[in-house]
Structure 1
Amino acid sequence: MKEFIDYLLKFGDLNEQQISCITANAVETELRKDAYFAEAGKVVRQTGFMTEGILRNYYYNSKGEEITKYFVEENNVVICKASFDNEIPATSYLQAVTDCRLIIFPKKNWEEISGTVMIWDSLMQKIISRALVRKVERISPLVSQDATTRYLEFLEHYPGLANRVPLSYIASYLGITQQSLSRIRKNIR
Structure 2
Amino acid sequence: MNELESYISSFWNITGADLKMAASFFQQETIKKGTFYLKTGKICNSLSFLRSGLMRFYTIDDQGREVTQWISGKDGFVTELSGLMFNNASPSNIQALTDCECFTLSRTNYMAMEKSIPKWHQLEKLFIARCFIFMEQRVFSLLSMNAEDRYKWLFNYNPALFNEVPLQYLASMMGMTPETLSRIRKKLSS
Match of 2:15, as an amino acid? Answer: L
Partner of 2:174: 174
Percentage of identical aligned residues: 26
Which string of whole-angstrom CA distances, capped at 9 and with x for unpartnered residues, describes residues 32-58 of structure 1?
A: 122111111011111111111121211
1:170 Cα deviation after fit: 0.4
TM-score (norm 1): 0.90
Residue 13 of structure 2 corresponds to residue 12 of structure 1: yes
**5+ residue gaps, structure 1:** none
Is the 1:3–1:75 Cα contact (8 Å) retained in structure 2? no
Is the 1:61–1:67 Cα contact (8 Å) retained in structure 2? yes
SS in 2 for 1:184: helix
Residue 39 of structure 2 corresponds to residue 30 of structure 1: no
Separation of aligned partners in 1, 2:166 and 2:142: 19
Partner of 2:117: 117
1:8 Cα deviation after fit: 3.0
Query: 1:1-189 maps to which residues of 2 (within 5 A)?
Result: 2-10=2-10, 11-16=12-17, 18-189=18-189
1:135 Cα deviation after fit: 2.2
Q: How many residues align?
A: 188
Separation of aligned partners in 2, 1:6 and 1:182: 37
Separation of aligned partners in 1, 2:171 and 2:14: 40
1:111 Cα deviation after fit: 1.9
TM-score (norm 2): 0.89
Higher deviation after alignment, 36-45 or 72-81? 72-81
Is the 2:57–2:95 Cα contact (8 Å) retained in structure 1? yes
Is the 2:8–2:22 Cα contact (8 Å) retained in structure 1? no
Separation of aligned partners in 2, 1:132 and 1:94: 19
**5+ residue gaps, structure 2:** none
- Cα RMSD (Å): 1.8
Match of 2:155, as an amino acid? Answer: L
Higher deviation after alignment, 78-87 or 161-170? 78-87
Separation of aligned partners in 2, 1:103 and 1:121: 21
SS in 1 for 2:41: coil
Is the 2:5–2:20 Cα contact (8 Å) retained in structure 1? no
1:178 Cα deviation after fit: 1.2
- Change beyond 3 A, Cα 1:2–1:121: farther
- Change beyond 3 A, Cα 1:171–1:151: same
Separation of aligned partners in 1, 2:126 and 2:73: 19
Separation of aligned partners in 1, 2:23 and 2:145: 43
